Amino acid sequence: MSEKEDYLVGEFPFIPRQERAQQKRKALLESGQILFAAKGYEQTTAKEIAAHAKVATGTFYRYFSDKRQLLMALLEDEIDNFLAPEPHWFSSNPEFVLASLLETHANRLQKSGLYRVLPEILSKDLELAEVMQAARIRIHARILSGLQLIYEKGLTWRDLDLDILAWSIMILVENGHEKERQGGNRINYQELAKVICRLVFPPEVLEKLRNDGEA
């Protein structure tokens, strides 16, 4: 195959080593993602991934030390997607902004499908569990600091614990995409956003924000 590319002067005689290698790596990653999402981690064998990526079994182990490492490489890129995105509250219509945030998040998850393996992995991979936990703490902290901002401006309920509030928001945002699967009708992100905003803004604040936005 590569011989056919040789006869052109001035062209790359072949795809550079590294690039070709990276193509295989990429193919393996993609195949891993597809198969993990479809069949689960344990149920997918290294051989299958290699076959799906159209490389030999041994090649798998040139690019990844083992099956776990391939999964980690996949998760590395996605881990932040699994967690709740951070809502931004300053807007004339926070409910609407939040709703689209929720939808985007759900779509991202559904697309990769990889979140399906997470529960399977977390129970056996302490290291990954720690990474995830750290990420969640980060997310929680970010949501919390956002809440503190609006707290200082007197825009939020004064009788709720901000830490718990942040955690509740994180949980709801994180799980929003599951509603459909877990029981019931397709989720209405607009309504979920409304519920979350109720936890953050007293009704009169929400009203005021809208008016300010229009003005």
Partner DNA sequence: AATGAATGAGTGTTCATTCAT
Partner DNA sequence: CATGAATGAACACTCATTCAT
Residues that bind a second copy (CB under 8 A): 39-43, 116-120, 122-124, 133, 136-137, 140, 157, 159-161, 163-165, 167-168, 171-172, 175, 179, 181-185, 187-188, 191-192, 194-195, 198-199, 203
Under the binding rule (CB under 7 A), the answer on residue 151 touching DNA is no
Binding mask 64-103 for DNA (x = CB under 7 A): --xxx-----------------------------------
Window contacting DNA (CB under 7 A); options: 58-66, 110-118, 145-153, 182-190:
58-66
Helices (H) and strands (E) in the chain, counts: 11, 0
* Apex 73 CA angle, 36 and 2, nearest 5: 90
From the list a second copy, DNA, none, which binds 21 (C-beta under 5 to 8 Å, kind-based)?
DNA
In the complex, least distance from residue 120 CB atom to DNA, rounded to whole angstroms: 13
In the complex, least distance from residue 11 CB atom to a second copy, rounded to whole angstroms: 25
- Which residues, other chains included, contact 205 with Cβ-Cβ below 8 Å and sequence gap of 6+? 155, 156
In contact, 61 and 70? CB cutoff 8 Å: no
Nearest residue to 193 (alpha-carbon basis) of 215, 214, 169, 163: 169
- Residue 120 CA to residue 113 CA, distance in Å, equals 13
Under the binding rule (CB under 7 A), the answer on residue 58 touching DNA is yes
The nearer residue to a second copy, 9 or 158, going by C-beta atoms, is 158
- Which residues, other chains included, contact 81 with Cβ-Cβ below 8 Å and sequence gap of 6+? 105, 108, 109, 112, 115
Under the binding rule (CB under 7 A), the answer on residue 198 touching DNA is no
From the list DNA, a second copy, none, which binds 168 (C-beta under 5 to 8 Å, kind-based)?
a second copy
Answer positive or negative: Cα dihedral of 173, 179, 182, 183.
positive
Tell me the backbone φ, ψ of residue 13, rounded to 5 degrees.
-60, -25
Window contacting DNA (CB under 7 A); options: 50-58, 100-108, 184-192, 203-211:
50-58
- Which residues, other chains included, contact 71 with Cβ-Cβ below 8 Å and sequence gap of 6+? 32, 36, 41, 117, 121
Q: Which residues bind DNA (CB under 7 A)?
A: 13-14, 17-18, 20-21, 24, 42, 44-47, 54-63, 66-68
